[in-house]
Amino acid sequence: MRNTLITVRPVQVTGFCLAITLFELITYMASDMIMPAMLSVTHELQADVRHVPNAFNLYLLGGVCLQWLIGPLSDRFGRRRLLLLGCALFGVACSAAAVSGSIEAFNALRLIQGMGLGFVVAVSYPALQEVFCEADAVRLMALLGNVALLSPLLGPLLGSLVLEWLDWRQLFIGLGLLATITWLGLYACMPETIGVLRRDGQRPAPAAFSARQIGRRYRALLCNRRFVAASVALGLMSLPLIAWIGVAPLLLMQSLGLSAREYGLWQIPVFSAVIVGNLLLDRLLSVYSLPRVTGLALWPFCLGLLILIFSALSGASLLPVIVGLAMCALGLGMSNAALYRLALFSSDDSKGLVSAMVGMLSIAVMGVGGTLVAAFGGAENLRSFALCAAFGGLLSLPLVYRLVRQR
C-alpha cells in the first residue's frame, strides 16, 4: 500500500490485513467446506435432503440478522472491539456445531455462524476504507474478494479431501481453532479508526447510539435510490453463483451421481473466473473510473446469462451451465468491489451504518433469492437451475445500467 490515512506501523498494517483476510476466509470456509458433507449431515441427523440448500441459505441470512445493529455499535464503540466480539461469537458457534444432535440445532448454529459474515461486512470493510486511501482501499477489497472466493473455489474440493480423514464434526472443531488464531491476530494488530486523528486532519468521532435516530438514518438510506440500486445490484449479480453453491451438492452428487471430489473439481472453473475478474479490476482501475469498469463488467456477465438461457432451452448439460456461470463470475469479479464502493459513498452518513445496510440488502437478496431458486425447482435439475439463475442475474441489469449512466 502506498500510504495509510492513520499513523500505523508497517508491521501492524501487515498483521491487520492478514488477520482480516483469515477472518473473511474462515467465515466463508465454514459454509463451503461443509457442503460436500451435507448429505452425510442430513443422514446422520436423520433429516430430509431439502436441508442441504436450507443450511447454506440460513448461513447467508445469518449475515443479515445483526448487521443493522453491528454497524451503529461499531460507530459508537469502535471497529476493533466489535470485530473481536464477532470473531469470538463465530468461533464458539463453530465449536458448538461439532456436538449438535439434531438438524434444528445444526441449522440454528449455521445461522449464528453466518453472523460472523455480518461482522466482516459491517465492521472490517469500513475499517479498511478508513485506514487506506481510496485506490488502495478498492484494491484491498478486490484482493480480499479473491481470498474469500478461494473458499467456494477450493472449499468444496478441500472439504472433500479433508473429509476422507476427518468427519464433519472434527471439521467444525478445526474451524473453531482457526477462529481462535484469528482473534489473537486481530487483538494484536488491528488499529482503531474511530476517534483517531487522520493524516488529512479529520478525526472521526464516536457516533451517539440512539435507536430512534438509527431508525431515521436507515429510513433515509432506504430513500436514497442510488444507494438501494447499488446494494440490490450487488446481491442480484451474485445470485447465480450463490444459488449454485447452495444447490450444487444435490445437482452434482445426488442427481448426476458425481463423487464429492468431482463435485469439488467442477467448482474450480466457476470461481477461478471471479478471481480473474478481480485481477482485471485491479488493472482497469489505473485507467478507468469505477462506473466505467462496472460498465465493462456487464459484457462478460450478460454473455454468461445468455449461455445459461441457451443451455436451459437446449436441454442443459453440465458443461455449458459451468461455462455460463464462469462468464457471470468474471463479470461479478470485475464489478463487485466497484459496486460496493459506489454504494458505500452514495451517502454521507457514517460508514459503519452505511456498510451494515449494504450488507443487509445485498446478503438478504442473495439468501432470499437462493431460497426461491431452490423452492422453484432449481435443485431438481440443471435446466431449472439455469433458468432461475439467469432470471435472477437479468434483474440486476437495469440497476447497474442506471448506476453507470447516473455517474
Q: What is the pLDDT of residue 305?
A: 95
Percentage of the chain with pLDDT > 90? 24
| Distance between CA atoms of residues 387 and 376, nearest Å | 10
Closest CA to 93 of 34, 154, 9: 34
Using the Cα atoms of residue 339, residue 211, residue 66 and residue 367 in order, give the sign of their dihedral: negative
Contact indicator for 26, 179 with CB cutoff of 8 Å: yes
CB within 8 Å of 114: residues ≥ 6 apart: 31, 58, 59, 60, 61, 62, 63, 65
* Mean of pLDDT over the chain: 83
C-alpha cell at 9: 506501523
| Distance between CA atoms of residues 363 and 370, nearest Å | 10
SS (HEC) of 69-85: HHHHHHHHHCHHHHHHH
Point out which residues pair with 132 in neighbouring strands. 4
Q: What is the pLDDT of residue 1?
A: 47
- Domain range list for the chain: 10-195+214-406
Residue 368, Cβ density class (10 Å: 0-12 exposed, 13-18 middle, ≥19 buried): middle
The answer to whether residue 205 scores a pLDDT higher than 70 is no
Q: What is the pLDDT of residue 148?
A: 65
With cut-offs at 50, 70 and 90, classify the pLDDT of residue 6.
low
Q: Which residue has the higher pLDDT, 363 or 276?
A: 276
pTM of the shown model: 0.74
Q: Which residue has the higher pLDDT, 222 or 363?
A: 222
The answer to whether residue 182 scores a pLDDT higher than 90 is yes
Q: What is the pLDDT of residue 352?
A: 66
Q: Rounded to the nearest 5°, which phi and psi values hold at 4? A: -120, 155
Q: Which CATH class is domain 10-195+214-406?
A: mainly alpha
| Distance between CA atoms of residues 387 and 309, nearest Å | 6
Range 352-375 average pLDDT: 83
The answer to whether residue 124 scores a pLDDT higher than 60 is yes
- Render 161-228 in DSSP notation, one character per residue: HHTTTS-HHHHHHHHHHHHHHHHHHHHHHPPP-TT---TTS--PPPPP--HHHHHHHHHHHHT-HHHH
With cut-offs at 50, 70 and 90, classify the pLDDT of residue 149.
low
State which amino acid sits at residue 320.
P
Closest CA to 322 of 256, 268, 270: 270
Range 317-324 average pLDDT: 92
Q: pLDDT (tens digit, 9 = 90+) per residue, 75-121? A: 788 888 889 999 999 999 999 999 988 889 999 999 999 888 888 87
CB within 8 Å of 224: residues ≥ 6 apart: 346, 347
> 304-318, 339-353, 356-370 — which one is most confidently predicted on average?
304-318
Which helix or strand (DSSP H or E) is residue 314 part of? Answer: none
